[in-house]
Amino acid sequence: MKNIFAFTIMLLSVAAIVKGQTESLTVNQAAKGTALQLHFEAGEAHNHPSFAVWVEDLQGNFIQTLFVTKSVGTGIYPYKPAGNLKWEKGPGRAHRPAALPYWFHKRDDREPGSAAVPTPDNPVPDAYTGATPKQNFNLAVRTDEPLKGKVRVLLEVNQPWDVNDFWTNAKHPENTQYLTSCQPAVIYAVTIDLANPMDAWYLNPLGHSHPYGADGKLYTNLSTLTTALDIFSQIKLEIE
């Protein structure tokens, strides 16, 4: 009995250590721009989210993508439609404008209001993509060109089938894009000044995206969101 008890304690200890580990992602290191380090602490609701990180100027003009999770960046997801709003495991091509609508619209320079949703035929380059971390993680990235003056670093994050009492399955039952998301993607941001560096900056939520990706607007009312705000408990940014 003592041996079984000791073995159980050991398994719990190992699980706690694994849960507390911090993964590391390194992207675009061949570039000659500014080196950034982002440190993500997973919140209680963290469960394989999709997210994108990018830089823009203070007027809201898109500069470049820093990172996007591979499923969104390629348009190939680990689950595929199986009919009647059902899903089955296995890689499948999917057009999901509700995943990260704000970033989709920001990155598209074809015309105002359009959205560039990556596809298997037109993916985000591998230099800016990576697997979705399962826990706390550090993201080391470089911009393509050195950053100067004041810029904004933004993040958009979404988790599929994330329902709550407000964003229910019955809210937009006719819209399959909404049903794959429910609570909309959350946008975080921070303004950094390269001329006046600090030890660290912290990204904070600004608002959310359209619930089924119909536009690229920022919706600033966060009062209806619950678990969507607890995917990350902290996002810290440092400049090397």
- Name the nearest CA neighbour of 17 among 131, 138, 136, 140: 136
Residue 82 has a pLDDT of 58
Q: How far apart are CA 5 and CA 49, in angstroms?
A: 36
Residue 14 has a pLDDT of 38
DSSP class of 231:
S
Place of tokens 């009647």: 84
Residues of the chain with pLDDT > 70, as a percent, come to 84
Tally of CA atoms within 13 A in the half-sphere of 28 that contains its CB: 25
Q: Which residues of the chain have pLDDT under 50?
A: 1-18
Say whether pTM exceeds 0.75: yes
Phi, psi of 112, rounded to the nearest 5 degrees: -60, 135
